[in-house]
Copies of this chain bind each other. A is one copy, B any other.
Amino acid sequence: MVSIKDIAKSVGVSTATVSKALNHKSGVSQTVRNQIIEKAKEMGYVVNGLARGMKISKTFTVGVLVSDIKNPFFSEVISAMERVLYAKKYNLMICNVGENPQKEVEYLELLVSKKVDGLIVAPAAEGQNLSIYRNLVRHGMKIVLFDRLIDSVNCDSVVIDNRASIYEVTKYLKDRGHKKIGSIYGIEKSYTGHERLNGFKEAIEELNLEYHKEWVRSGFFREEDSYKQSLEILAKSSKPTAIIAMNNFSTLGLMRAVKELEIKVPDDLSIIGFDDAEWMKVCSPSITTVIQPADAIGMTAATLLLDAIENENIHTIQHVVLKAKLIERESVKSLI
């Protein structure tokens, strides 16, 4: 590979001059500068990012940790981040940790060793790597948490108002005459799972709705589990009139069960989903759902991180809470 040294030799100057010329820094005559740039292009020179990164302690790389790239919510968030970071010439290193804390640790270490300039993380469910995050922050690593929070880590974050939005849709159902409401919730120990479930429970209580343990089941944010739990709920003779599914996979599982049991939606059962997926507006009936502003989440997270990286001294930590939005489609029937 051609290096700065080769160019220097070829043009007849020192490497210092070449470096300055190629980085558009002052202290090089116009003539020499042009010669160098010309030669560099001719020889097909590409800077060695390792050497450069080592010297200037900056890699223009950001690590992203999510639990599942296949989840359309995360792909959309990541896609938005990419847009923002690309504009500033940053690269992202994406790590898929599943819900595996051990893998999370390994990837974190890998990213640290790769000297990423910052991290954007949706921490794994159990939150047991808390001390690692705290340690990273203490050592000056720039971190933005999104989707899931860890209270005790002092860094920027972007989440939605999970609790409020589930509360709201529960009320939405009540307002339409639903009194028997069930739900397929997620991973209770995870931030989102916990918050959403709590929003639901609060609503049930405060709005004086019936609470049936059999109607409120965890699908672990997975399609298969949600499908099975949905079957359980819907097999009973005493069924809810509406079910809230608390993420996209839960919604999918619920839909599968409904289809299999040939239950008519919304006539026999009303459904509210969570997250948006393109199919939700295409299928019949289309799904009324709570949409997370995935794009905004990604952009905000990336922007916060860039700010933290590039304005190290004046950056103040922010906790952004975005609003989720209920989109009314065809899967809810008014009983009034």
Contact = CB atoms under 8 A, between A and B. Distances in A.
6 contacts: A51-B54, A79-B96, A86-B96, A92-B94, A252-B278, A279-B279
Interface string A73-95: 00110110011001001011111
B284 A283 contact: yes
Interface residues of A, number: 54
Interface in A213-251: 223
Interface of A: 1, 44, 46-51, 53-54, 59, 61, 68-70, 72, 75-76, 78-79, 82-83, 86, 89, 91-96, 103, 109-115, 135, 139, 223, 252, 255-256, 259, 277-284, 286
Contacts of A49: 113-115
Contacts of A223: 278
Contacts of A70: 72, 75-76, 79
Contact of A277 (B46, B68, B96, B279): B279
Nearest to A254: B282
A297 to B, nearest CB: 14
A92 B259 CA distance: 38
Nearest to A258: B282
A283 B283 contact: yes
A303 to B, nearest CB: 17
In the A-B complex, the 4 residue pairs with the smallest Cβ-Cβ separation, listed nearest first, are: A279-B279, A283-B283, A49-B113, A50-B54
B82 A69 contact: yes
A316 B59 CA distance: 34
A91 B91 contact: no
A282 B281 contact: no
B76 A113 contact: no
A139 B46 CA distance: 13
Contacts of A259: 282, 284, 286
A110 B113 CA distance: 19
A241 to B, nearest CB: 21
A103 B89 CA distance: 11
A95 B83 CA distance: 10
A69 B61 contact: no
Looking at A69, A72, A223, the one whose CB has the most chain B CB atoms below 10 A away is A69
A50 B115 contact: yes
Nearest to A71: B75
A112 B2 CA distance: 12
Contacts of A48: 54, 113, 115
Contact of A91 (B51, B59, B76, B114): B114
A223 B135 CA distance: 45
A26 to B, nearest CB: 24
Given A50-B53, A72-B70, A252-B282, A96 B82 contact: yes
A140 B333 CA distance: 62
